[in-house]
């Protein structure tokens, strides 16, 4: 038992020792074995508490770091170090194997000797260390002689990087007039070299350009002002060049530069100043209120809000006439007119103005007065102004019954320019279309050209124009309100056309109507009407009028019963008087019908109907009879007209008529020149021709041949009178039913027949040659032929 515990403690101690000895040591460059592998563990072979044989636990390599300089520039390979195993007895049976980062490429190992070489130039800034693994194996059996273990190749830094600034260029601002040593900006440069090793990364700043205005802190890179009272108004921008150098600024260090652009920002160190001590402006007197009278610029060397200015008037010979405000976009003083100018009353104004900054910086009060003053002089210029009316508007009153050309009122205007200008007055005719008024062009008196009627137009609102006599373009207008005042010139009348009736069974003193009145006049106290019965009817009156004294009156019966048979309508004259002066009155007739009523007094039948009903003939019957008569009459007239139409025949009266009538047949015209007779339109519209033809060519169905009485022409034998012959013919024509209804001319030429001397007429001579030859009527022969056909007349009939 004791033995067991003894061994156990021994093993634990041994394990602890191994663990501690395995941690890496420092300052050694070679690989070393601290314990012999097999040999060291051989003595520890034994059994554990359960009798299991204890195994030798493997101990690894004891490592250190290899160090290697970066940027090796030698010709042969750079030697890194050597691996060695204790089991290597130099007989070449041990083979060293390298693996891990860069093994075989960057780092090569001699299999036999264990020498490690770097094959390339290495850059620490690229990779600062490499982790590799090493093994030792038996060359023949490939049996691992040593366990694999890790080692590090660390690259040593050299100063191969210059400092770099984080920005190029830098921008910075510092207020002008800053105290010396005011911080402006901090610049920073970084160095890629190893800051933990040597001075390769230790940077020192210095200023190359920008002195003596600025300085830089060598260690921190903080730029500060180096001069007091730097003035932005003198120089605003500075270019400062800063250098950073490593190796703590020593010789051989690397360096980098940057530019810092420094702008002085504005402070309000300058007061505003007027450009002049006296400003003079000429302003026309017609300048409107609120208009600009002049601009007064003040200057300020500062910018932005440090140049913002306020202006004010500190003294004025006419306070309140002018005002000064600031144009915020230009910072100019704007002189504004606040009261109207009048050249005739004041020709010059002067006042003093003051300017100062809005944002005053008390630090610079010592730079001189912080406000400035100037004088402004305003000269008022004369302007030819239009006439000015004494009043802005005129109201005139005129009573309506004034005669024509009465002066209603007077208007007056003057020229404000003070000169003795003549003024012409006129009425704007657009406002007095009916030309009711006139104005005296010289003195402005307004007259009525027409009579006025208040009941038609109460107001006449006109415009009067005043122009300067010498300069008609100077013109002003004024409204004139003319009010027509009432005169009692209208008599009152009944308000409406009353339809009044009285019952036959009415009792005395019964009200049958309430009447009221109207009057177009407009008396001041309102209307007051008086009603009464006309004097002439008062004696034997059948009705009475009672004035209710409230502008109404009652119509009352005066006796007990009325008989419509006896009298169906009463006319009651009612006199209505108004209470005005001159008093106006009228007599109005109220028509009262007598009606039969029921017991309640409701109208049943009124006189007019009753009358006709009793006579046995109603209005309806009368109307019917009248209608019958009218219809009959119409039928008769119609019949007569139709008869006449049927018998109507064309009548050829003269040569012209023949042509006219014949041309209407359309088949032949009067030649192309015959525009009167020929409707060219029908030619252009052949259908219309057809239509016309059909319509016009119809031969009357019934034909009344002209009644021809045997007339004995006047011959030597019968000694007849030509007058008788013509009378006879006239009579024939008058009684001819085919004669046209209008006045017409008939030719009663008679050539005669049976003459012993034979006829001289060509008409007569051709009769024997047959119907076809009518060529002697060279112009209208064929038409005549047609005509003759139509009449059915024979050759001997041609003279008709």
Ligand X SMILES: *[C@@H]1O[C@H](CO)[C@@H](O)[C@H](O)[C@H]1NC(C)=O
Cβ proximity to ligand X, 393 vs 583, nearer residue: 393
Rounded least distance, CB 591 to ligand X, Å: 12
Rounded least distance, CB 326 to ligand X, Å: 9
Rounded least distance, CB 257 to ligand X, Å: 46
Q: Which of 34, 220, 443, 560 binds ligand X (CB under 6 A)?
A: 443
Rounded least distance, CB 442 to ligand X, Å: 7
| 500 near ligand X, judged by CB under 6 A | no
| 16 near ligand X, judged by CB under 6 A | no
Binding to ligand X (CB under 6 A) within 175-234 occurs at none
Cβ proximity to ligand X, 462 vs 663, nearer residue: 462
Q: Cα(14)–Cα(535) distance, rounded to whole angstroms?
A: 167
Rounded least distance, CB 510 to ligand X, Å: 16
**Secondary structure in 3-state letters for 729-770:** HHHHHHHCCCCCCCCCCCCCCCCCCCCCCCCCCHHHHHHHHC
Rounded least distance, CB 288 to ligand X, Å: 15
Task: Please choose, out of 93-101, 384-392, 440-448, 587-595, the segment that lies near ligand X by the rule CB under 6 A.
Answer: 440-448
Q: Which of 29, 276, 440, 696 binds ligand X (CB under 6 A)?
A: 440
Q: Is the distance from CB of 269 to CB of 364 less than 8 angstroms? A: yes
Q: Which residues contact 391 (CB under 8 A, 6 or more apart)?
A: 478
Rounded least distance, CB 563 to ligand X, Å: 8
Residue listed under structure tokens 């027509």? 484
Tokens of 55: 């195994």
Binding to ligand X (CB under 6 A) within 447-486 occurs at 459, 461, 481
Rounded least distance, CB 741 to ligand X, Å: 58
Rounded least distance, CB 482 to ligand X, Å: 9
The sheet that has 394-399: what strands, in order across it?
Answer: 394-399, 475-485, 459-468, 423-427
| 327 near ligand X, judged by CB under 6 A | yes
Residue listed under structure tokens 């830094």? 157
Q: Which of 32, 567, 604, 614 binds ligand X (CB under 6 A)?
A: 567
Binding to ligand X (CB under 6 A) within 683-702 occurs at none
Count of C-beta atoms within a 10 Å radius of residue 712: 12
Cβ proximity to ligand X, 433 vs 749, nearer residue: 433
Rounded least distance, CB 504 to ligand X, Å: 12
Residue listed under structure tokens 């107001």? 459
- For the chain, the distance separating the N- and C-terminal CA atoms, rounded to the nearest angstrom, is 189
Nearest to 513 by CA among 539, 537, 565, 548: 548
Q: Are strands 164-165 and 189-190 parallel, antiparallel or unpaired?
A: antiparallel
Q: Which of 358, 407, 575, 689 binds ligand X (CB under 6 A)?
A: 407
The sheet that has 511-518: what strands, in order across it?
Answer: 493-494, 511-518, 552-557, 543-547
Rounded least distance, CB 444 to ligand X, Å: 7
Task: Please choose, out of 245-253, 303-311, 427-435, 565-573, the segment that lies near ligand X by the rule CB under 6 A.
Answer: 565-573
Count Cα atoms within 13 angstroms, Cβ side, for 473: 1
Strand boundaries in 320-458, DSSP class E: 322-327, 332-337, 348-357, 371-381, 388-389, 394-399, 407-410, 413-414, 423-427, 437-439, 445-448
Q: What are the φ/ψ torsions at residue 353 (nearest 5 degrees)? A: -120, 160
Cβ proximity to ligand X, 190 vs 445, nearer residue: 445
Taking CB under 6 A as the rule, which mask of x and - marks residues 115-144 in contact with ligand X?
------------------------------
Q: Is the distance from CB of 61 to CB of 23 less than 8 angstroms? A: no
Task: Please choose, out of 437-445, 603-611, 671-679, 705-713, the segment that lies near ligand X by the rule CB under 6 A.
Answer: 437-445
Q: What is the DSSP string of 593-656?
A: EEEEE-TT--EEEEHHHHHHHHTT--HHHHHHHHHHHHHHHHHHHHHHHHHHHHH------SHH
Rounded least distance, CB 629 to ligand X, Å: 37
Task: Please choose, out of 159-167, 325-333, 380-388, 487-495, the segment that lies near ligand X by the rule CB under 6 A.
Answer: 325-333
Rounded least distance, CB 308 to ligand X, Å: 14
Cβ proximity to ligand X, 475 vs 534, nearer residue: 534
Binding to ligand X (CB under 6 A) within 332-391 occurs at 334
Burial class (CB in 10 A: 0-12, 13-18, 19+), 244: buried
Rounded least distance, CB 523 to ligand X, Å: 20
Cβ proximity to ligand X, 109 vs 462, nearer residue: 462
CA distances from 565 to 499, 508, 607, 614, 677 (A): 20, 19, 8, 10, 73
Q: Is the distance from CB of 283 to CB of 381 less than 8 angstroms? A: yes
Cβ proximity to ligand X, 247 vs 592, nearer residue: 592
Cβ proximity to ligand X, 363 vs 567, nearer residue: 567
The count of residues interacting with ligand X (CB under 6 A) is 19
Binding to ligand X (CB under 6 A) within 504-563 occurs at 537, 540-542
Cβ proximity to ligand X, 77 vs 541, nearer residue: 541
Task: Please choose, out of 85-93, 173-181, 322-330, 673-681, the segment that lies near ligand X by the rule CB under 6 A.
Answer: 322-330
Tokens of 553: 């009156």
Which residues in this chain contact ligand X in the complex, by CB under 6 A? 327, 329-330, 334, 407, 410, 440, 443, 445, 459, 461, 481, 537, 540-542, 566-567, 570
């Amino acid at each position: 038992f004791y033995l067991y515990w003894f061994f156990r403690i021994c093993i634990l101690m041994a394990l602890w020792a191994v663990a501690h000895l395995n941690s890496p040591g420092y300052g050694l460059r070679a690989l070393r074995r601290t314990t012999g592998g097999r040999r060291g563990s051989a003595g520890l072979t034994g059994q554990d508490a359960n009798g299991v044989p204890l195994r030798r636990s493997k101990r690894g390599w004891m490592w250190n770091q290899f160090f290697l300089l970066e940027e090796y520039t030698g010709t042969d390979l750079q030697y890194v170090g050597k691996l060695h195993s204790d089991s290597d007895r130099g007989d070449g049976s041990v083979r060293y194997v390298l693996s891990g980062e860069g093994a075989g490429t960057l780092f090569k190992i001699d299999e036999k000797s264990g020498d490690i070489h770097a094959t390339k130039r290495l850059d620490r800034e690229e990779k600062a260390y490499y982790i590799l693994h090493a093994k030792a194996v038996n060359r023949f059996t490939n049996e691992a002689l040593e366990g694999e273990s890790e080692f590090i190749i660390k690259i040593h830094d050299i100063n191969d990087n210059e400092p770099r600034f984080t920005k190029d260029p830098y921008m910075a601002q510092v207020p002008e007039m800053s105290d010396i040593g005011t911080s402006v900006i901090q610049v920073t440069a970084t160095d890629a070299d190893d800051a933990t090793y040597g001075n390769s990364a230790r940077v020192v700043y210095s200023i190359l350009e920008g002195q003596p205005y600025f300085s830089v802190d060598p260690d921190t890179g903080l730029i500060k002002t180096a001069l007091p009272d730097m003035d932005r108004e003198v120089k605003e921008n500075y270019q400062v060049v800063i250098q950073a150098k490593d190796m703590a600024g020593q010789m051989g260090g690397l360096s980098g530069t940057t530019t810092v652009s420094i702008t002085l920002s504005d402070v309000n160190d300058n007061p505003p100043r007027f450009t002049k001590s006296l400003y003079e402006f000429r302003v026309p007197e017609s300048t409107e209120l609120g208009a600009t009278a002049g601009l007064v610029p003040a200057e300020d060397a500062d910018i932005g809000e440090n140049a913002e200015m306020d202006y004010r008037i500190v003294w004025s010979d006419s306070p309140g006439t002018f005002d000064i405000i600031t144009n915020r976009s230009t910072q100019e003083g704007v002189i504004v007119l606040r009261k109207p100018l009048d050249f005739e009353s004041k020709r010059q104004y002067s006042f003093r103005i003051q300017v100062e900054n809005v944002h005053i910086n008390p630090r610079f009060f010592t730079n001189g007065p912080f406000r400035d003053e100037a004088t402004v002089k305003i000269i008022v210029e004369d302007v030819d102004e239009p006439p000015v009316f004494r009043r802005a508007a005129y109201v005139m009153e005129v009573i309506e019954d004034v005669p024509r050309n009465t002066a209603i009122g007077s208007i007056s205007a003057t020229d404000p320019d003070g000169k003795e200008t003549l003024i012409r007055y006129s009425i704007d005719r657009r406002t007095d279309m009916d030309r009711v008024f006139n104005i005296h062009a010289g003195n402005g008196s307004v007259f009525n050209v027409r009579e006025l009627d208040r009941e038609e137009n109460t107001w006449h609102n006109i415009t009067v124009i005043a122009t300067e006599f010498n300069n008609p373009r100077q013109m002003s207008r004024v409204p004139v309100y003319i009010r027509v005042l009432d005169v009692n010139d209208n008599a009152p009348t009944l308000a409406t056309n009353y339809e009044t009736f009285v019952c036959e069974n009415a009792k005395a003193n019964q009200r049958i109507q309430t009447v009221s009145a109207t009057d177009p006049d407009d008396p001041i106290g309102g209307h007051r009407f008086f009603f009464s019965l006309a004097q002439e009817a008062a004696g034997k009156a059948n009705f009475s009028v009672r004035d209710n004294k409230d502008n109404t009156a009652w119509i009352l019966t005066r006796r007990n019963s009325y008989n419509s048979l006896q009298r169906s309508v009463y006319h009651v004259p009612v006199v209505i008087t108004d209470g005005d002066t001159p008093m106006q009155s009228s007599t109005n007739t109220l028509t009262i019908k007598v009606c039969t009523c029921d017991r309640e007094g409701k109208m049943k039948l009124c006189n007019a109907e009753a009358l006709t009903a009793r006579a046995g003939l109603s209005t309806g019957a009368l109307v019917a009879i009248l209608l019958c008569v009218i219809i009959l009459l119409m039928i008769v007239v119609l019949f007569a007209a139709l008869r006449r139409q049927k018998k109507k025949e064309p009548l050829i009266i003269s040569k012209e008529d023949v042509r006219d009538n014949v041309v209407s047949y359309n088949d032949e015209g009067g030649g192309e020149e015959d525009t009167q007779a020929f409707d060219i339109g029908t030619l252009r519209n052949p259908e219309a021709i057809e239509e016309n033809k059909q319509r016009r060519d119809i031969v009357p169905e019934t034909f009344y041949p002209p009644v021809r009485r045997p007339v004995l022409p006047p011959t030597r034998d019968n000694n007849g009178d030509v007058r008788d012959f013509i009378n006879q013919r006239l009579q024939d024509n008058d009684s001819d039913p085919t004669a046209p209804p209008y006045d017409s001319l008939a030719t009663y030429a008679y050539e005669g027949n049976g003459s012993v001397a034979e006829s001289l007429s060509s008409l007569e001579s051709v009769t024997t040659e047959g119907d076809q030859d009518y060529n002697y009527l060279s112009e209208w022969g064929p038409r005549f032929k047609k005509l003759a056909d139509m009449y059915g007349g024979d050759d001997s009939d041609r003279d008709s």
